[in-house]
Every structure is written in structure tokens, then in C-alpha cells.
Amino acid sequence: MARRNSNVLSTDVEEARGQILEAAQSTFLHFGVAKTTMDDIAKAAGVSRPTIYRYFRDRDTLIAELIRMRSRKLFVRGTKFVLERDSFRDQLIDGLMFMVDHGRKDPLIRLIVGPEHMDLATTVVGTSRLASTLTLEMWGPIFDRARERGELRPGITNEQACEWLALVQLILVGRLDFEDPTDPAHRQLLETFVLPAFLPAAG
């Protein structure tokens, strides 16, 4: 079977969106987000700029979809890492450190977790609360399991927990950017100030 020309957009909507996202991803990674225009992405995808707008409302929408795509790839690795820990307390602390350390190194995920991108993050995320939504996608099932085992404090929803975790992650990114990520002091802070918010009160 002949290989389809990569510059020919699929007639399937989801596949076409995927082709555009792949082109956008390579363009953003090559030129940087700030310098990449929709014309650059259209050229990389082999289509016109109006064609891009048929699939994505605007540049921010496209960026948000890319962040979601790359985050979900990280979630696969992160979930495997977390579930290798036996207790919820280790899952939460080790998982937070893992996700923050890897997320801050990804040039696109960093757009919503890097302190230097707060202006852009506000524009991209808008009212969709992308950071909290993605955090819920990753951590919701883990919280459900912890709740079933009696390891999660009653009275808090996954949505509330993940909104808080999204803020904690933002703080951690700034901290790990300027300090040794392997320093045990990071874990100690999380154990002292974050963990008690999630664990049941000692009986």
C-alpha cells in the first residue's frame, strides 16, 4: 500500500486534527511558542491558514489541545510510577515530585506550570481551568482508590483536591527550577504541609 503524503490532510476530522497538532508540535518545538505563527503551522501541515481555523478556533485553542495531548502521554508514565507505590502517602508525594519534575522540563506542558508563562497560561487556559482539569484526569482515579481503602480524608471531592494540587504543582515548579530536585527538603515540605490535607485524621 502506498504511503499517504504527510502533507495531505485526512478527510477524517479527528485524524486531520491530529495531523495539524503534530505539525504544530514540531513547529512550536523548533521555533518556540512565542515566535510561532499560525502561518508557520499551516506551512508545516501543508495546508492554508483558513484550513487550520476550520479545526481549531484560534491559536490558544490549538496550544491548549497540544498541552492536553502531551500531558496525557506523561500521565501514562506518571500513573505507572504512582501505582508502583504501596501507600497513598507515598503515591501522593512521590507522584507529585515525578509529575512536576517531568512536566516542568516539557516545553509545552510548562506553558501552564511555569511561573514565567503566567500571562500566556491565563490566555490559553481561559475559563477551561486546563491545569485543574488535567490534574483531575491524572489523579482522580488514584484518589478514588485511596478513598476506597480509607486512606483519603472524607469530605473532600476529587475536584477540590485537584484544584489544590494544581496550585501546589505551580509552587513546586518554581522551587525545583532553582534548587536541586533530589534535595530531600522538598519531600519533607510536602509531607509536613500538603500530605495532612489529604490523610484522614489520626484516630
Per-residue pLDDT at 93:
96
Q: Which domains does the chain show, CATH number per domain?
A: 1-56 (1.10.10.60), 62-197 (1.10.357)
pLDDT in tens, 10-37: 778 888 999 999 999 999 889 888 888 9
Q: Which helix (H) or strand (E) holds 147?
A: helix 130-148
pTM of the predicted structure, to 2 decimals:
0.83
Longest dimension (CA), the chain: 67
Report whether pLDDT(5) > 80. no
Report whether pLDDT(139) > 70. yes
Chain length of the chain: 203
pLDDT in tens, 142-170: 999 999 999 999 999 999 999 899 889 88
Per-residue pLDDT at 114:
65
Per-residue pLDDT at 162:
92
Taking Cα atoms as reference points, which of 125, 132, 195 lies closest to residue 167? Answer: 132
